[in-house]
Amino acid sequence: MSQTYAFDEVARLPLPGDNVAIATQRLEAGTGINHGAASFYLSHTVMEGHRFAVAPIAPGDELLSWELPFGRATALIAPGAYACNQGMLDALGGRAIDFDLPAEPNFADHIEPYRFDEGSFTPIDQVTGTDEARTFSGYLRARGRGVGTRNYIVVLGTSSRTTGFARELAARFADADTPGVDGVVAIAHTEGGGWEKPNNEEHLLRTLAGFVVHPNVAAVLAVDYGSEAVNNQILQDYMARNDYPLGSVPHLFMSIDGGFAGRLLEGERQIRRWLAEVGVERSAQPLEHLRLALQCGGSDAFSGISGNPLASWVAREIIRGGGGANLAETDELIGAEPYVLQNVRDAETAHRFLAMVERFKERVAWHGESCEGNPSGGNKFRGLYNIVLKSIGAAMKRHPDVRLDYCIEYGERMRAGGYYFMDSPGNDLESIAGQVASGCNAIYFVTGNGSITNFPFVPTIKIVTTTPRFELLAADMDVNAGAYQDGTPMDELGAELFDLTLNVAGGQRSKGEQAGHAQVQIWRNWPQQDGSRLEELRAAPVPTGERLQVEGEEAPAVEFAGLRGGRGLVSDQVGLVLPTSLCSGQIAQMIAARLNAEGFGREKGISRFVALVHTEGCGVAGAEAEALYARSMLSYLTHPLVRCAVLLEHGCEKTHNDYMRNELAERGLQADDFGWASVQLDGGIDKAGEKVVDWFEHRLAAIEPALPESAGLQALRVGLLAAGPLSKDAAAVLARLTRWLVGAGATVVVPEGGALLGSATYKDAVFAGQTPAATLAHGQAVSAPGCYVLETPTEHWTEIVTGLGATGVEMILAHTGDHPVQGHPLVPVLQVSAESAVQVRYAEDLDFALVGPADAWANELLDLLVEVASRRYQPVAVAQHNTDFQFTRGLLGVSM
């Protein structure tokens, strides 16, 4: 029998003029609601955080939340009807739910165009100071750098090419315990590593410069190779032109112009010197030195009711004390302009805000997308049906008493106290990086689903919107804003959070810091500069997946020591922890490290466990980018080297576990063949980790050990590529190796573009002088032995290697004509060179130097491939821990 409730027991109206309410718990179909003088029954089961009508809404009338319109009724919506648009129905249709959804939507999305009325505008004053002068214990910096809440030594990878170096160097100090120094951290990212100037160059340089002079940085070692599009010299020149106080920060700009190991030792010596020099004591500092980043991610319908208003309460108090607060995520304020600009410093600031919003929309449109596509699957699952609802809730991070003072560019420095808006994408990690670069020394992260985001050298306080979700994730969350909905006054919660904030700023570790979890992502390059190529790119033919006709050549008779296991005859067997998005990446890595440390799977022939950490799966728009991502993910799940695999979702991403289950089903694959875990739904980092470990333990117990089996060249799957100068002799030997492998019945994949297919010598010998078009889509696995050319949308080295790995090759042979590059965490990458300068400078980083008679090189390289396939040789990059992994977004993917 259906229950009947008083409205306040089971629902909330953000403002009295709203005509739809938010369910505070799941309500079954037929539930009775007493609302004021009216009573009605729910037409369908309504999920927690989803909306139902509380008054009749006629066709064409607006649906209101916070008394702002977010849609228009397409049919009569009676009280008790489940409010649903097509996007919500599509999102829930891909989830495993146990109730019937409405057959049709009853409202359509609608964004009311906003026009700023300068004639009726009246500027207001900012909130004023308080009687009580609050302080926090911080690190006072010289030359106007502000006050640090932490004191970290930073190893900064200036470009994506040096991420492996930065991580490895910082890892050597993981257990360092130096008084007055919080630790040594790496800042590794995906940007600036190409040969051509990226479209996001200004954003990238501003962000890197802001990191270098950040008040939480005690010293910084910036590392590059020197030949990147964004390198140390370009960064130093930028900082000098823009008056960054570099001289106030102990620093070293270092290029890897010699052996990797030698430069690591050089960096290690420098950091040890700094550890003895930069330790300082905290001192009491006024609130005017606190800069608060206001973020929300994994948002839900309650973010705007509890979490964001709580964050705004404390931000108001910090501003009263002379400090600053930074609101960001441009696309997540679209539709909320009336509230954002309700209180603003002057008309110029209002116009600047609106111009930034329009610029963001235009950039997204160049890539064929709309900002209305922003809400993730997790957002919709938790009640944020469209961008307007998400934006209205996000805007509540500005307290009604507080005015908007400044609008700044991504990563632009905050030079005074007050309330700021910073242009950024809605992608949480990319937005946070900009806020940190602007000078924020503390972060509020409001989350409905329970996002576990943290930044390496700035503490993050995570605020959860509901009590049940806080209780589920209490080990990883700091504050329960859901207590407000349970009856605790906002002023009481605000005072508690204010105290906690000052304590964390003064050195108390946040939950994220205690967990040792942090990630960095800078606003990724957008491929297009205008919309002129949009139709051309959309109409581009899709590679067929067919083999190319290549005349093979008889190869030497050699064999390798293979393994016969669940994926057939392979060169190795690996366990895979595959994160479904950027936010579960480091946790996947932590789990893989534990499995390796405990020796899991050795008796079954599992050589190691890997996590393929990447930055995709959420915060990006584009059908092409999503297709590239899904195809690549499935190719890695079914890769010949992968004996067993677990998918680890964060829980609120676009490409959540249910999304991946549907993708598997569409390709005729069984979801039960893989393990599944969720950071948010399984109860946090530790519990998700235990679930993954338990799954591998049971799966490994059930499989048969791999058996050794000798195999000829026909069983090899090899990727070939070249970067930088490629001599005729080197091209000729790679061509001969290609023809040997094809002639023996093996698989060879080469990327389109680049030095290999740019070589007339190689093309003449392999493709009769022609430049073949790509026959494999990026991320597509080969279907049979033969020769293929892989589609490569960008020049990003790691994206190309990641795409090659997804084809199913079990090793990659790379010729480097400039400097050694990062390897692949799953697929062994062998680096060779015929360039004498590279051989001299980077001798210890090469797997083989092409010296002596060129006629012997092909045999020597074939022997090297056999050694790797037999697991008797480990590539140098793997031994150095110099590996990286990154999915491409293609030419139409753009951050949102």
Q: What is the DSSP letter of 370?
A: -
Task: Return all residues near 525 (Cβ < 8 A) that are at least 6 apart.
Answer: 191, 198, 199, 200
The number of beta carbons lying within 10 Å of the beta carbon of residue 607 is 17
Q: Bridge-partner residues for 480, per DSSP?
A: 464
| pLDDT computed for residue 182 by the predictor | 97
DSSP states of 809-820 as a string? -SEEEEEESSS-
The 3-state DSSP class for residue 866 equals helix
| pLDDT computed for residue 666 by the predictor | 94
Report how far residue 538's alpha carbon sits from residue 622's, in angstroms, rounded to the nearest whole number: 11
* Cα dist from 587 to 219, 474, 518, whole Å: 27, 17, 9
pLDDT value at 388 more than 90: no
Q: Bridge-partner residues for 408, per DSSP?
A: 422
| pLDDT computed for residue 371 by the predictor | 85
pLDDT for 116-150, tens place per residue? 999 899 999 999 887 788 999 999 999 889 999 99
Geometric angle at alpha carbon 571, from 568 and 577, rounded to 5° = 80
Q: What is the DSSP letter of 803?
A: H
Instruction: Order the strands of the 135-140 sheet from edge to edge.
Output: 147-148, 135-140, 283-286
The stretch 408-412 carries a mean pLDDT of 98
Task: Return all residues near 797 (Cβ < 8 A) that are at least 6 apart.
Answer: 160, 161, 193, 723, 821, 822
Tokens 């441009």: give the residue: 330
The stretch 355-383 carries a mean pLDDT of 87
Rounded to 10 degrees, what is the CA torsion of 375, 381, 382, 384? 30
| pLDDT computed for residue 766 by the predictor | 97
Cβ burial of 416 (10 Å; 0-12, 13-18, 19+) is: exposed
Question: Pairing mode, if any, of strands 418-422 and 608-611?
Answer: unpaired
Q: Give the rounded distance of the alpha carbon of 872 from its chain centre.
A: 35
Report how far residue 288's alpha carbon sits from residue 301's, in angstroms, rounded to the nearest whole number: 33
Query: Residue 368 phi/psi, 5° resolution?
Result: 80, 20
DSSP states of 160-214 as a string? GGGHHHHHHHHHTTTT---TT--EEEEE--S-S-SSS--TTHHHHHHHHHHHHT-
**CA neighbor of 445 nearest in space, from 458, 464, 472:** 464
Report how far residue 122's alpha carbon sits from residue 341's, in angstroms, rounded to the nearest whole number: 11
Report how far residue 147's alpha carbon sits from residue 27's, in angstroms, rounded to the nearest whole number: 49
Asked if 637 and 655 touch (Cβ cutoff 8 Å), the reply is no
Query: Residue 548 phi/psi, 5° resolution?
Result: -90, 150
Q: Bridge-partner residues for 560, per DSSP?
A: 711
Percentage of the chain lying above the pLDDT 90 cut? 91
DSSP states of 318-379 as a string? HHHTT-EEEE--GGGGTT-HHHHTSSBS-HHHHHHHHHHHHHHHHHHHHTT--GGG-S-HHH
Report how far residue 465's alpha carbon sits from residue 448's, in angstroms, rounded to the nearest whole number: 5
**CA neighbor of 205 nearest in space, from 225, 249, 235:** 235
The stretch 527-532 carries a mean pLDDT of 97
Token reading at 421? 């808006």
The number of beta carbons lying within 10 Å of the beta carbon of residue 597 is 9
The pTM is what?
0.96
> 574-705 sits in which CATH class?
alpha beta
Asked if 778 and 791 touch (Cβ cutoff 8 Å), the reply is yes
Q: Bridge-partner residues for 443, per DSSP?
A: 293, 460
Token reading at 322? 């002379």
pLDDT band at residue 18 using 50, 70 and 90 as cut-offs: very high
Element holding 535 (H helix, E strand): helix 534-538
pLDDT for 535-586, tens place per residue? 999 999 999 999 999 999 999 999 999 999 989 999 999 999 999 999 999 9
The least confident of 85-94, 259-268, 716-725, 736-745 is 85-94
The least confident of 24-28, 370-374, 799-803 is 370-374
Tokens 């009640």: give the residue: 383
pLDDT value at 384 more than 90: no
Domain 710-895 falls under CATH 3.40.50: yes
Token reading at 16? 């009295």
The stretch 834-859 carries a mean pLDDT of 96
Task: Return all residues near 294 (Cβ < 8 A) that are at least 6 apart.
Answer: 311, 312, 315, 325, 326, 327, 328, 397, 444, 446
> 287-515 sits in which CATH class?
alpha beta
* Cα dist from 344 to 389, 530, 687, 719, whole Å: 22, 32, 45, 57
Report how far residue 291's alpha carbon sits from residue 145's, in angstroms, rounded to the nearest whole number: 12
pLDDT for 677-692, tens place per residue? 999 999 999 999 999 9
In 807-892, which residue ranges form alpha helices assigned H by DSSP? 836-841, 857-869, 876-879
The least confident of 107-121, 393-407, 508-522, 599-613 is 107-121
The 3-state DSSP class for residue 292 equals strand
Task: Return all residues near 327 (Cβ < 8 A) that are at least 6 apart.
Answer: 294, 333, 397, 398, 419, 420, 421, 422
pLDDT band at residue 385 using 50, 70 and 90 as cut-offs: confident
Element holding 472 (H helix, E strand): helix 467-472
Domain 4-109 falls under CATH 3.40.190.10: no
The 3-state DSSP class for residue 239 equals helix
pLDDT band at residue 515 using 50, 70 and 90 as cut-offs: very high
What type of residue is 212?
A: V
What type of residue is 86?
A: Q
pLDDT band at residue 48 using 50, 70 and 90 as cut-offs: very high
pLDDT band at residue 754 using 50, 70 and 90 as cut-offs: confident
Query: Residue 68 phi/psi, 5° resolution?
Result: -120, 140
| pLDDT computed for residue 268 by the predictor | 98
| pLDDT computed for residue 298 by the predictor | 87
Q: What is the DSSP letter of 125?
A: P
pLDDT value at 750 more than 80: yes
For the chain, the helix, strand and coil percentages under 3-state DSSP, each to the nearest 5 = 35, 20, 45
Tell me, yes or no, if the two domains 4-109 and 152-279 fold the same way. no
pLDDT band at residue 2 using 50, 70 and 90 as cut-offs: confident
| Buried residues in 353-370 as b, exposed as e (16+ CB within 10 A) | bbebbeebbebbbbbbbe
> 152-279 sits in which CATH class?
alpha beta
The least confident of 91-95, 427-431, 562-566 is 91-95
Asked if 812 and 797 touch (Cβ cutoff 8 Å), the reply is no
pLDDT value at 753 more than 90: no
| pLDDT computed for residue 674 by the predictor | 98
Give the side-chain half-sphere CA count within 13 A for 475. 13
| pLDDT computed for residue 1 by the predictor | 53
pLDDT band at residue 113 using 50, 70 and 90 as cut-offs: confident
* Cα dist from 857 to 627, 829, 874, whole Å: 40, 18, 20
| Buried residues in 845-882 as b, exposed as e (16+ CB within 10 A) | bbbbbbeeebeebbbebbebbbbbbbbebebbbbebbb
| pLDDT computed for residue 87 by the predictor | 87
Token reading at 81? 């009807």
Domain boundaries, the chain: 4-109, 152-279, 287-515, 574-705, 710-895
